[in-house]
Structure 1
Amino acid sequence: MSGIFYVYIKYARETDTKRADWGRHLLTFESRWAADELFRGLQTLKNAAGANRYSKLQRVNPQLWYYDTIDGDPWWTIIYVQRENALPEFNYKLMSVILGDADSGRNWPVFSNPTIGPDWISSKNFYIRNRRQPDLYWYRDSGRIVVSTTRRTKFRIKDVDYDKERVLIRNDKVTIEPVDGLGDTAGYYVAKGAEGQKLSVGLVKETWRFSELFDGIGVTWSTEEGFVTGTQFATNAPDAGDEWELC
């Protein structure tokens, strides 16, 4: 999921009329991964007294965020975060520009090709499809994950270290559950197994790194008992995977 990624962020305190004129920024990231990681990082920032620096940080979608803060001059907070080097790991992943406001003649930049798709929230359900060939979907067929143009299965992706909903980032540990098995007491999970193995569905809870979903799975044309000849099976291919997306 590399490539330049944009986010609009806006100051939005309901009791402050200046929210309508000031505090609008365009953030440019080296990837969508970096944008979501910054969102999680901003949630952790605290002031000297230990209070959350962002008293509100709300995502309308992956590219439109709203905030309030305990900082003075709240319309500048994202600038202060960068000046103070409060999150040094973003020095080479982020830059920002102040958007036009009531006191300036700054132009309003409009970006093309916005990212389309759902927010990556833990415990939500998603289809998984190929980015280059978007008619190819993951489908649970008995104990295998096959790649199909005619059938598709939704999967629940859940953060194993955090019970509540939150934005998923690349290094989060997750489980993948076919939603057609969620009602079963035993529980069914997608397992990738060793490199080169076909993905399977069973009772063993296997943990994935979230980013493995996007570029660590390939497709193998194979023959297997119970399947028609030439079925496409999803396969663990960490070094030669296809590109997938959640939808």
Structure 2
Amino acid sequence: MSNGNGIFYAYAKDLKNDTIARYIITFATRNVADVWYRAILDSVSQGHERFASVRRVSLQLYTHEYSEKTNITDTLNDAQVAAHLRGQMFFTLLNDKPAEIGIFELGIFIVSNPLKHIHSFYIRSVPQPDTYWYYDMVEGGVFASRNRRTRFTVTIVDKKRSPGTFMVDNDEVYITLGSNISFGVDVNKENQLAEGRAGGFPFKFSCFKTDFQIELQLNGPAVKAGPTVAQDSSGLGAIVRNVDKGERWELV
């Protein structure tokens, strides 16, 4: 999830015509791009098929079938689709080919794939990329480690979402241990991530960008003496929830 918070760009072109209705789409963030495309998919699934032709070919390329009533730019003017995103994204019309006036070209951006509902990941620190979340069975909690790591499954709370739905910042999600959905990650009285109820605590997906931090630096002592922690040469620190004051983590 190392997509950052900066401006994000994509191309859009008419599927049946290479000379008209070609756009650069400018999004405030990568998350806005995901929210916009999911709004299109949701509107179609709910019976509003005006923009059913819009397809995401890749993270930076979309296709659509242009007409006066279904131009992709009008997704921002349709209250049933993405009018709520006006001010967070815009379309720039590329020069039509027959005019042959200039060339507009985007650079190549390295971006991660969409992160999908009910998939398992390792959770890695962005500022310390050798550091991962590790579930310690003896301590019953989640720690940061440089030499151990555990796979966690991230699941959207909304049961109406089908497996494979890509996740966006505003989604509430459960974090569970591997494929064991009865082994949820919860928050204890000290705000540490710990073994909890089935499903676990409903976090916002954006929490991975803002809410989790290491209680003690990894080059310091272990967070507490315990049969596993004390023997770990990496010097474990507990992962704690600190809303809007945490560091960035990515799912890999």
TM-score in terms of structure 1 length: 0.80
- Pick from 145, 150, 157 the counterpart of residue 148 of structure 1: 145
- Pick from 246, 249, 252 the counterpart of residue 244 of structure 1: 249
Q: Structure 1: where are the runs of 5+ without partners?
A: none
Residues 219 and 233 in structure 1, CA contact (< 8 A), matched pair in contact too: yes
AA of the residue aligned to 2:248: E
- Which residue of structure 2 lines up, in the alignment, with residue 138 of structure 1? 133
Whole-Å Cα distance in 1 between the matches of residues 20 and 149 of structure 2?
45
Deviation at 1:235, TM superposition (A): 0.7
3-state SS of paired residue (1:187): strand
Indicate how the Cα distance of structure 1 residues 78 and 156 shifts in structure 2: closer, same or farther if over 3 A, else same: same
Residues 139 and 147 in structure 1, CA contact (< 8 A), matched pair in contact too: yes
Deviation at 1:203, TM superposition (A): 4.0
Whole-Å Cα distance in 2 between the matches of residues 154 and 60 of structure 1?
29
Residues 43 and 52 in structure 1, CA contact (< 8 A), matched pair in contact too: no
- Which residue of structure 1 lines up, in the alignment, with residue 105 of structure 2? 109
Indicate how the Cα distance of structure 1 residues 22 and 5 shifts in structure 2: closer, same or farther if over 3 A, else same: same
Indicate how the Cα distance of structure 1 residues 106 and 52 shifts in structure 2: closer, same or farther if over 3 A, else same: farther
Residues 117 and 246 in structure 1, CA contact (< 8 A), matched pair in contact too: no
AA of the residue aligned to 1:178: L
- Whether 2:204 is the aligned partner of 1:209: answer yes
Indicate how the Cα distance of structure 1 residues 211 and 98 shifts in structure 2: closer, same or farther if over 3 A, else same: same
Indicate how the Cα distance of structure 1 residues 127 and 116 shifts in structure 2: closer, same or farther if over 3 A, else same: farther
Residues 173 and 208 in structure 1, CA contact (< 8 A), matched pair in contact too: yes
Q: Structure 2: where are the runs of 5+ without partners?
A: 217-222
Residues 51 and 75 in structure 2, CA contact (< 8 A), matched pair in contact too: no
- Pick from 7, 11, 15 the counterpart of residue 4 of structure 1: 7
- Which residue of structure 1 lines up, in the alignment, with residue 23 of structure 2? 25
May I ask how many residue pairs the two structures share in their alignment? 230
3-state SS of paired residue (1:168): coil
Deviation at 1:116, TM superposition (A): 2.5
Residues 126 and 156 in structure 1, CA contact (< 8 A), matched pair in contact too: yes
Whole-Å Cα distance in 2 between the matches of residues 122 and 45 of structure 1?
19
AA of the residue aligned to 1:40: R
- Pick from 207, 227, 230 the counterpart of residue 228 of structure 1: 230
Sequence identity, in percent? 24
TM-score in terms of structure 2 length: 0.78
- Which residue of structure 1 lines up, in the alignment, with residue 220 of structure 2? none
Whole-Å Cα distance in 2 between the matches of residues 88 and 55 of structure 1?
16
Query: After superposition, where does 1:79-94 map in structure 2 within 5 Å?
Result: 79-82=73-76, 87-94=82-89
- Residues 107-134 of structure 1: CA distance to partner in whole angstroms, max 9, x if unpaired? 232235x242221221122222112222
- Which residue of structure 2 lines up, in the alignment, with residue 58 of structure 1? 55
Whole-Å Cα distance in 1 between the matches of residues 121 and 56 of structure 2?
18
Question: Alignment RMSD, CA only?
Answer: 2.7
Whole-Å Cα distance in 1 between the matches of residues 177 and 59 of structure 2?
24
